[in-house]
Amino acid sequence: MRNKHLDKIIPLLKVNFDKDFPAEKKVNFRVENLWLEEEDFKNELREVYQKDSEVKFSTVGPHRLDLLYDINNVKSGDILSRGEQKLLILLTILGFNQHMHNLGNKHSIFLVDDLPSELDEENFLKCLELILDAPGQKFVSSIDPDFLGIKGRFNTLIAL
């Protein structure tokens, strides 16, 4: 079932990356599924049992799925700024959100904590625009008082 959804999500991600990520930074990604064949899975569970017991969660299984990103054939974490990483993850989340919406007008709830942190003004405004344009309900927080300067963009603004 996961692959059925991924087959629909991956094209949405590609569109998002091509449209909203800097053109000079070509995004490639691959899906790494940590669910192994039955015999390999049993062996892997045995190998990680001690570590998983210590950390109190399982590191292999059907719940594990990693999206690994490369930018211009370099691991994304080695080449992108923290703000660019934030934009990349936001575009990924928005792709998943669009897929949920396409499934039957299902809406997500976005809780975005301290959106302006680690973003320059251009990327902050781009991220904000993407969030506001996405279907669903949004809660966006910031500790930056300048964030209030964009209050006209929100239905409700609460300054604490």
Classify residue 136: in a domain, yes or no: yes
Alpha helices, DSSP H only, in 1-138? 2-20, 38-55, 76-79, 82-102, 121-133
Measure the N-to-C terminal CA separation of the chain; round to a whole number of Å.
44
The count of structural domains within the chain is 1
Classify residue 117: in a domain, yes or no: yes
Classify residue 92: in a domain, yes or no: yes
pTM of the predicted protein model: 0.77
Classify residue 27: in a domain, yes or no: no
Classify residue 45: in a domain, yes or no: no
Parts of the chain with a pLDDT under 70: 1-2, 33-39, 148-149, 151-160
pLDDT at 37: 64
pLDDT at 5: 83
Classify residue 20: in a domain, yes or no: no
pLDDT at 127: 92
Q: Residue 112: what are its φ and ψ, rounded to 5°?
A: -110, 115
For 108, the enclosing helix (H) or strand (E) is: strand 108-112
Q: How many Cα neighbours within 13 Å face the side chain of 23? A: 1
Domain that holds residue 142: 81-160
136, with CB counted inside 10 A (0-12, 13-18, 19+), is middle
pLDDT at 147: 72
Classify residue 111: in a domain, yes or no: yes
Classify residue 17: in a domain, yes or no: no
Structure-token pair, residue 130: 């993407």
